[in-house]
Chains A and B, each alone.
Chain A
Amino acid sequence: MPNNPLCNPAEHTLSRRRMLGAATAGAAGLGLGAIFQPAVAEELSRNDRQVLLMWLDGGMSQLESWDPKPNTRFGGPYRSIGTSLTGVRISELMPRMARQMHRLAVVRTMKTEDPNHSSGVPKILRGHPKDRGVTYPYMGSAVAKMLGPTASGLPPYVWVKPGNGGFISKHAGFLGAKYGAFAIGSGKPPTNLVRPNSISDSDDAARQELRERFNRRFAARRHPGPSEANSYVYDVAQALMKHEDLFDAETLSAKDRERYGDHDLGRNTLLGRRLLEAGVRFVHVQSYGWDTHGDNFNAHASRVPKVDQALSALLDDLNQRGMIDNVLVIVMAEFGRTPRINGCVGRDHWPNAWSLAMAGCGIEPGVVVGETIADGTDVATEPYDIGHMFHTWYQALGIDSSHHEFTNGTQPLPVAHDDMHAVKELLS
């Protein structure tokens, strides 16, 4: 703060107080989304900014995607191809993205700390802030907290993943379980989404009204947090019920299904787009199985084109629908993969010099930030940690990440690593 000439201390205090107020005020009787009252609504409500994070769990190889080193010792078998950005080449496994590079920003000099999945995944998804003895929220929970739900009343932070759905509270860290992820498994509707026929609309409305009435009375002289949280989940449940069609594959056009691809990532990205359209604030699309210690090249030949297909369809749609200015799209994993090719023709974990990509809201289109050295075994230009990206993304979303703070009880906490900063070239 002291180094920033633009910072007005008075304003800063004001916004801090406003934020603290949001955490404790929440008078009884606020219905929908009361507990998610956006922290600094005035500053942020310029428009309804949203995020879609495509997470390639296990670690996609930068060499078989954004930062190919063809014809070098570690470069692997694939060719690179030219893109819509002059002088920028990416792997031949991404022909569709090559035509969309002018919409994308890529960072090729990610240098992060942790080479393990179990600790690396949460570190990256939390933006790896300075350790203050508290558990930071995942980005989705943090955005849910800072931007709140949209007017849709849908859960602000939704995971779309293969396998089971459910509620993942641990993502919320110190923000408290209510900011956890609402997970939709294999595109299936949440259990019990559909109301039994025995309950009519009017009966349901009547009983819900009673429930709220009792809740308000109970909360009137108690700490309002629990009642608000409880009311909130009922509100979200009812909002979700209005979107049953999201979970009905029949409502999809065959063309959409084909464009995104008939595979987990394609289907889940398409559902992700529909969730954005329905008004979910932060969608996390999860793709599993990228930990290619063995058979890396065949695995990437099978997998990367699916990212290429789903991501390019998504970018097309966001552009066509005029959503791209409000939706931040991020594609990343917990690390990349080693240049060294191991005995089982695989690549191992590589936090040393990897790539990620982003597009949309607040992001400068058509830039490639950073370079790795010729054989890809280190960064050649300034390395960036995930903390730099969190500052960048928060600023792209209109959050002043170097001033805005969370509060944990009475402890103010920076939203992103306090020694890091946004990468200017990435911001539009």
Chain B
Amino acid sequence: METDAQPIAQPKQLTTIETDRQYRVIRFSPNAKTLYGAGFDAAIHRWDLSGELPTELLVLPGHHGWVESLIFAAKHNLLLSTDSWGQLCAWDIAPENPRPRWRHAEAHDGWIRAASISEDQTLIATAGRDGTVRVWSVTDGKLLHELPGHEHEIFSVAVHKSGQAAASADLLGNLKHWELPSGKCVREVRLESMHYHDRDHDVAGLYSLRFHDAGKTLLCAGSQPNLTGNVGGIPSICWLDWESLEVTKTMEFGEKKQGYVYDYQFHPDGYLMLVTSGAPGAGQFICQRLDEEQPFFTTTKMSNCHSLAFDAASNRCIVAATNRNSQGNGAVRDKEGKYLGNTSPLTIFELPAMVDA
């Protein structure tokens, strides 16, 4: 019998690049010729993608602890990076070996958990353990606003498309609306489903904020956590109506062992690409259209996926996952007796051909 349904085009897994360390974030450079990655080793790594195989370039040193944000300001040829010791650094990426254009070694007291750049690339907001949001000028690093007021560690921040507002959310899921430039907190709401408390342990569920839909919606991504000790929770994205601050939709991705939405991107065709990491070995790469209940693509073959880099020009994405058997008690050593760490294999996917507008 004939059917009208076309087979749904699926992302195609191309190849996996093995690495020798763990990456918390990977991003394509604006020209997509370089892949940037950073994680637990206080450095920014780069791969040249122009050849057949990626080749590693010199690392960008100078950070401490963990580097978790890599944000490009293409207009200014800048890469903005943050680390867990409180440093915010703007790298001039025009030269072959990028150099800091400006840096604040103590932009915050301790861990910068989140950073967000305005659409016009003039402002970058940062926030973290010290409970304060700071807004900086992208080009020269000048501190424009200091927004104290969260009583707990801040996990996420977003600058509104208008550049006139910012949102930040903390450990307990308290979300604040900051008016710029007055620097006043004008509204607050609590997303209780994105926080869990048990046995002296607060578990944050709201890991990322991002404005969407011309600023009408604030996407609150992460998890609805329900377990301490081990990661447990349903990976979720809540759609918060910016005007009413009401949750209009919650997208859930898998069962509770899948944990958190760690990273996501929108494809120009309008669908969502996201990666999750949960219990040991549990990882998903999911593609789902916003108006559909179910993803059109899910793979669970990769363990604990933490980042997703997307390049529209080549219509490809790269998923940073974790090696198999990353969990284990006691000392895991190789044959020479060397203590083994974990790694982030990078898997490249070719995405379905774009719909011709």
Complex contact flag A–B (Cβ < 8 Å)? yes
**Among A78, A92, A116, A264, contact of B199 (Cβ-Cβ < 8 Å):** A264
Are A301's CB and B340's CB within 8 A?
Answer: no
Are B332's CB and A79's CB within 8 A?
Answer: no
Central interface residue in A338, A345, A346, by most chain B CB within 10 Å: A345
Are A340's CB and B65's CB within 8 A?
Answer: no
Are A293's CB and B230's CB within 8 A?
Answer: yes
Q: Is A180 an interface residue (CB 8 A)?
A: no
Contacting residues, chain B, for A398 (C-beta < 8 A): none
Q: Is A237 an interface residue (CB 8 A)?
A: no
Q: Among the listed stretches B131-139, B178-186, B200-208, B247-255, which one makes contact with chain A, having 4 or more residues with CB under 8 Å of it?
A: B200-208
Per-residue contact bits, chain A 202-244, to B (CB 8 Å; 1 contact, 0 not): 0000000000000000000000000000000000000000000
Are A71's CB and B42's CB within 8 A?
Answer: yes
Q: Is B85 an interface residue (CB 8 A)?
A: yes
Contacting residues, chain B, for A339 (C-beta < 8 A): 339, 341
Evaluate whether A295 and B203 lie within 8 angstroms (CB atoms) in the complex, with A71-B64, A344-B230 already known: yes
**Among B171, B304, B329, contact of A344 (Cβ-Cβ < 8 Å):** B304
Evaluate whether A342 and B229 lie within 8 angstroms (CB atoms) in the complex, with A76-B65, A79-B85, A352-B331 already known: no
Per-residue contact bits, chain B 227-247, to A (CB 8 Å; 1 contact, 0 not): 011111000000000000000
Nearest A-chain residue to B202, judged by Cβ = A302
Q: Is B37 an interface residue (CB 8 A)?
A: no
Contacting residues, chain A, for B330 (C-beta < 8 A): 115, 338, 348-352
**Among A290, A303, A344, A375, contact of B259 (Cβ-Cβ < 8 Å):** A344
Nearest B-chain residue to A73, judged by Cβ = B41
Q: How far in angstroms is the closest Cβ of chain B from A185?
A: 14
Nearest B-chain residue to A163, judged by Cβ = B199
Are B340's CB and A340's CB within 8 A?
Answer: yes
Contacting residues, chain A, for B329 (C-beta < 8 A): 115-116, 338, 348-350
| Docked pose: A60 CA to B321 CA in angstroms | 27
Are B200's CB and A302's CB within 8 A?
Answer: yes
Contacting residues, chain A, for B40 (C-beta < 8 A): 73-74, 76-77, 341
Q: Is A99 an interface residue (CB 8 A)?
A: no
Q: Is A292 an interface residue (CB 8 A)?
A: yes
Are A294's CB and B230's CB within 8 A?
Answer: yes
Q: Is B303 an interface residue (CB 8 A)?
A: yes
Contacting residues, chain A, for B129 (C-beta < 8 A): 301
Q: Is A165 an interface residue (CB 8 A)?
A: no
Nearest A-chain residue to B64, judged by Cβ = A71
| Docked pose: A162 CA to B200 CA in angstroms | 10
Evaluate whether A294 and B110 lie within 8 angstroms (CB atoms) in the complex, with A78-B84, A342-B326 already known: no
Q: How far in angstroms is the closest Cβ of chain B from A124?
A: 15
Q: Is B307 an interface residue (CB 8 A)?
A: no
Central interface residue in B22, B198, B232, by most chain A CB within 10 Å: B22
Are A77's CB and B229's CB within 8 A?
Answer: no
Are B65's CB and A77's CB within 8 A?
Answer: yes
The 7 closest A-B pairs by CB, nearest first: A343-B304, A294-B231, A77-B84, A343-B322, A289-B199, A349-B329, A343-B326
Q: List 22 A-B contacts (CB under 8 A).
A: A73-B21, A289-B198, A289-B199, A289-B228, A294-B231, A295-B231, A298-B203, A299-B203, A299-B229, A338-B329, A339-B339, A342-B327, A342-B328, A343-B283, A344-B231, A344-B277, A344-B304, A346-B230, A348-B329, A348-B330, A350-B329, A352-B330
**Additional A-B contact list (7), CB under 8 Å, known A75-B65, A294-B259:** A79-B85, A289-B228, A294-B231, A302-B171, A302-B201, A303-B201, A340-B328
